Amino acid sequence: FSDPASNLGLEDIIRKALMGNLEERQE
Amino acid sequence: NRMHLVCPMNTSPHVDPHKSGHEVWEEFSHSFTPAVREVVEFAKKIPGFRDLSQPDQVSLLKAGTFEVLVVRFASLFDVKDRTITFLGGKKYSVDTLRAMGAGDLLNSMFDFSEKLINLGLSEEEMSLFTAVVLVSADRSGIENVNSVEALQETLIRALRSLITKNHPNESAIFTKLLLKLPDLRSLNNMHSEQLLAFKVH
ipTM of the complex: 0.84
Pick out chain B residues at pLDDT < 70: 1-2, 198-201
Would you give the end-to-end CA distance of chain B in angstroms? 12
- Which of B40, B193, B199 is closest, CB to CB, to A18? B40
Q: What per-residue confidence (pLDDT) applies to B199?
A: 66
B74-78 long-range contacts, Cβ below 8 Å, gap at least 24?
A: B74/B112, B74/B113, B74/B116, B74/B117, B75/B113, B75/B117, B76/B8, B76/B113, B77/B8, B77/B109, B77/B110, B77/B113, B77/B114
Q: What per-residue confidence (pLDDT) applies to B118?
A: 92
Does A26 contact B at CB distance below 8 Å?
Answer: no
pLDDT band of residue A1 (cuts 50, 70, 90) is very low
Which tens digits make up the pLDDT trace of B132-171? 999 999 999 999 999 999 999 999 999 999 999 999 988 8
CB contact under 8 A, A10 and B63: no
Q: What per-residue confidence (pLDDT) applies to A22?
A: 52
- A21 has pLDDT over 70: no
- A27 has pLDDT over 50: no
Nearest chain A residue to B28 by CA distance is A8
Q: What per-residue confidence (pLDDT) applies to A3?
A: 56
| SS3 assignment, position B85 | strand
